[in-house]
Amino acid sequence: MVSVYDIVEKAAKTGKVDKGVNEVTKAVERGIAKLVVVALDVDPKELTQHLPILSEEKGIKFVQCDSREKLGISVGINRPTAAVAVILEGEAKLDSLE
């Protein structure tokens, strides 16, 4: 099983990703995101609670991960990030997620 972090990392290196709630929200609204990943340890939860609904409306795959810290590292930044959108998957295999 490929972890969501592996997919995000590969997409960040070989494709294009947007990081942060605002950038991810814009990508989803524009319909250019292929995958949205949101960390479960976001506080307050209100920051990201619109993303699953928005993703579903736009038909974009949505997954959650456990750690903002790990999500930030997998996307190649040295700080935690609450949300990541994969715009171009590059070599990442999005369909390897359940």
52-88 pLDDT per residue, tens:
999 999 999 999 999 999 999 999 999 999 999 999 9
Strands 83-88 and 35-39: antiparallel
Residue 2 has what pLDDT? Answer: 81
Neighbours of 26 (CB within 10 A): 14
Q: How many CA atoms lie within 13 A of 62 on its CB side?
A: 21
> Would the pLDDT of 97 be above 90?
no
- What does pLDDT average to over the chain? 95
Give the whole-angstrom CA distance, residue 8 versus residue 76: 9
Give the whole-angstrom CA distance, residue 37 versus residue 63: 5
Beta strands in 3-79 (DSSP E): 16-19, 35-39, 61-65
Residue 89 has what pLDDT? Answer: 94
Query: Helix, strand or coil for residue 70?
Result: helix
16-41 pLDDT per residue, tens:
999 999 999 999 999 999 999 999 99
Domains and CATH numbers, the chain: 4-88 (3.30.1330.30)
